Structure 1
Amino acid sequence: MRKVHGLTQKELSKIIELSVPSIGKIETGKTVPVFETFIKLTEVYADTAVEDILCDVLDVGILYRIKDISARIDSLPEAEREYLYDAARYFVGAMQKEGEVDD
């Protein structure tokens, strides 16, 4: 998907603020992106179905649910879609702050 979009791992690394080795691990299926990275990937690959981003790491049942949610989100007006993405980013930030407090 990265190559289809004409990006190198280094370019994607800068866009989503993730190391090149981490991108390689995600692309080879050695690891699954954390939620924050997943949100960033959905923004970079906005023209790609959400389930296609994680197709190699999720089972069929989860893929079906993601596809359904994705279709519902895609049918929303742009302002509402942006609101959902903003909310997701907020929760990611809150979880990170909570993790810092626990450390």
Structure 2
Amino acid sequence: MSKKSQPETEPSFEESLEQLQAIVRQLEDGTLGLDESMTQFEQGVKLLRKCYAVLDHTEQRIELLTRLDDDGQPVLAPFDNTGTADTKEKSKAGRRKRASKTEDEDSGLF
């Protein structure tokens, strides 16, 4: 009887960030050889892209949750969870600029 392998769970954002910080420390130490440095660098780039994708996804969710219409009422819309981690340019291109806040609006989180 063979054991079914359990699927590996994706590391959380915090775990990915910790791994990325460890890689940066290793690369800054300069004690790794060229091949190992390159392997660690590639892993770091993958982690960095994952972190950016998570942050972008979270930012989209926050924008949806805090969006108001002209009457100050919350705007309810289904969340499109299809995201890309291609480039920063692509993810910033579709972002709206927020109107400047008044002093009263600037005092709180919402």
TM-score in terms of structure 1 length: 0.29
Rg (Cα) greater in structure: 2
Which has the larger share of helix?
1
TM-score in terms of structure 2 length: 0.27
